[in-house]
Amino acid sequence: MVKKIFAKCYIYFILLLMYVPILVLIVYSFSNASQIGDPLGSFNFDLYAKLFRNEEIMKALGNTVILALISAFVSTVLGTLGAVGTFYCKKKTKAVIENINQIPVVNAEIVIALSLTFVFVLLGNVIFRANIFSFWTLLIGHVVLGAPFVYLNVKPKLIQMDPSLYEAGLDLGCSPRQAIGKILLPEILPGVLSGFMIAITLSLDDFIVSAFTRGPGLLSGNESIQTLSTYIQSVIKKKAVPIELRALTTLIFICVIVAALLVTLYQNKQPNKGKHKKWRN
């Protein structure tokens, strides 16, 4: 009994440390106080109005969202195809691929960023004879970060699946494309969605790879691309963080919570559907 009470108190204490700062930030997003800790004053939405009038933040936000969605989509496709292909490989080949996939996961992000920078500089100097840093180099960097995590999310679903289902579909007249779309993909879809969400989170959260691999493009035009992380880093060198970012972080937090709830609800419905099908049969 005492152990259970202690365990619950410990969990609630950790959750308190994690979420109280976020809740304080949310409260101050409805105040014009210049600093956290100042008197709140009247409840208003002024910071939200200022947020959408700030062109620099809106450009950085647009770049971040576009990059996150595109890189997450590419990472999901590559990671899913890699997981499916590896699943049907021989044991030795599978072991080699899985070990290679672990390198970006366990490696320090600064090492990945410096390695990519070296490759892009080498390609620009030796092959293209020009500076190749652009949106595409930034996209490659984010895909390198996200694809291994998609692979790790899809792999457990493949292990849970009956490996003979795909071959059974082929024997019953499905083409390889039909067997993947109608049999394989529905079985691993929860893992694919989880991988997609993680890839988006990694892209939104990244600073080091973005700082090393970005170039001109997207909403920044001929200037170097500013994501939210690089924008904040450049601003705090000169002045305090704009108070409008309180409103932005609140909106991002709400979007993440809603997305996580939707994915969780979808995943919880899948076992129930399977149970209903078995019961009908």
pLDDT tens sequence across 85-98? 888 888 888 888 88
Among candidate residues 231, 250, 247, the one with its CA nearest the CA of residue 239: 231
- Mean pLDDT within 192-211: 90
- Predicted pLDDT of residue 271: 57
Among candidate residues 136, 144, 244, the one with its CA nearest the CA of residue 202: 144
- Predicted pLDDT of residue 194: 87
Domain 55-276 belongs in CATH node 1.10.3720.10 = yes
pLDDT, greater one: 200 or 179: 200
- Predicted pLDDT of residue 281: 45
- Predicted pLDDT of residue 270: 62
- Predicted pLDDT of residue 98: 87
- Predicted pLDDT of residue 279: 37
Among candidate residues 132, 105, 111, the one with its CA nearest the CA of residue 202: 105
pTM for the structure as a whole:
0.84
- Spatial distance between the Cα atoms of 231 and 103, rounded to a whole number of angstroms: 29
Ramachandran bin of 241, using left for φ above 0, alpha for ψ from -120 to 50, beta for the remaining angles: beta
- Mean pLDDT within 24-49: 85
Lowest mean pLDDT among 37-41, 130-134, 204-208, 252-256: 37-41
Query: Tokens 């049969």 map to which residue?
Result: 281
- Mean pLDDT within 197-207: 90
Distances (CA, A) of 2 to 6, 10, 135: 6, 12, 56
Kindly tell me if the per-residue pLDDT of 280 is higher than 50.
Answer: no
- Predicted pLDDT of residue 273: 53
Lowest mean pLDDT among 49-63, 84-98, 140-154, 198-212: 84-98
- Predicted pLDDT of residue 142: 94
- Predicted pLDDT of residue 276: 44
38 forms beta bridges with 36
- On average, the pLDDT of the chain sits at 86
